Structures are given as C-alpha cells and as structure tokens.
Amino acid sequence: LYLYFKNKDDLSHGIYLRGLTALKSFFQEAIDSRERGIEKVRAIGEAYFRFSREHTDYFNSMMQLRPHEIDFSDPTTNGMRCHQCGEEVMAIVARAVQIGIEDGTIRPELDPMKTAFTLWGQSAGIIQILSAQGEHLQSYHGISAEELMRHSFDMIYHALRA
C-alpha cells in the first residue's frame, strides 16, 4: 500500500479525493441539466443528497477531513489534490449562484462564494441529521428523508430567489 501512498494521511486523502472527484461529476451533471441559475443550485443540492445516499462511505470520509492536516507545501500529495478538487467543486456551486444572479433568478446582493459555502453547510448538516436521526424522524414524526430534504431545498430556494 505504501508503494502508492506516502503515509496514512496520504492514503486517507486519496480516498477523500476519489469521493470529491465523484462529487464533482455529480455536480457537473446537475448544472448541465438545468438552464436557470436557481434551478442549477437546486439540482446541485439534489445531487449532493443523492451522492450521500449512493456513496455513503465517501460522503462520511469527506465529513471527517480536517483541512489543517493538509501539507500545503507539497503539491504532489493527495491532500493538496483534495484541496484543489474541493476548490473546483465549490467553484461549480459559486458559478451556479453567479449564473442565477446574472439571469435574475437569484438575489443580486448575494456573494456567490459565501453563498456556496453556506449552501454546503446547510445541505451537509441536513444530510448528517438524516444519517443520525432519519429513522427517528420517520418513526416519531412521520417525516421521511426525502421530505426533509425537499423542505430544506424549498427553504433555500425561497431564501435565494430574486
């Protein structure tokens, strides 16, 4: 194993990188499938939820990464590749927001990158709640994972809409 990876961190970052690469594909397909910016943003959220369901191990590993553990001095490490790919993923989200601002479907005063990070945090939080409490929500409140995600997307949509 260590013929391919420098150390344990490089190995875990390699796994994380595979997940990020898959997520990037999910997001790219999502934005390519919609015209208006606000629709692209919603499609990204739906793709993130689908990714978390179809690639649970990758999603969970991505939630564990600590950027302060990445060696930014060596561009050949998987940690640095993770950072670069993560920036590309966030750029896709920010670009969708920017398109929405330009086409008039998203409020013009929003900063695309700040909005992208906020959307990521909101979506990841809901997904983690569903992962930990999904059965409880269904059993005791009659709320399915899909219903809660849809409700979350609706709230985000209304918050962004111009």
pTM of the model: 0.88
pLDDT at 65 over 80: no
> H-helix or E-strand containing 44?
helix 37-54
Do 41 and 97 contact (CB within 8 A), yes or no? yes
| pLDDT recorded at residue 2 | 58
Query: What is the CB neighbour count within 10 angstroms for residue 138?
Result: 15
pLDDT at 1 over 60: no
Q: How far is Cα 37 from Cα 105, in angstroms, rounded to an integer?
A: 6
pLDDT per residue as tens digits for the range 116-156 = 999 999 999 999 999 889 899 999 999 999 999 999 999 99
pLDDT per residue as tens digits for the range 15-35 = 888 999 999 999 999 999 999
Domains of the chain (ranges, CATH numbers): 8-160 (1.10.357.10)
Phi/psi of residue 108, each to 5°? -70, -20
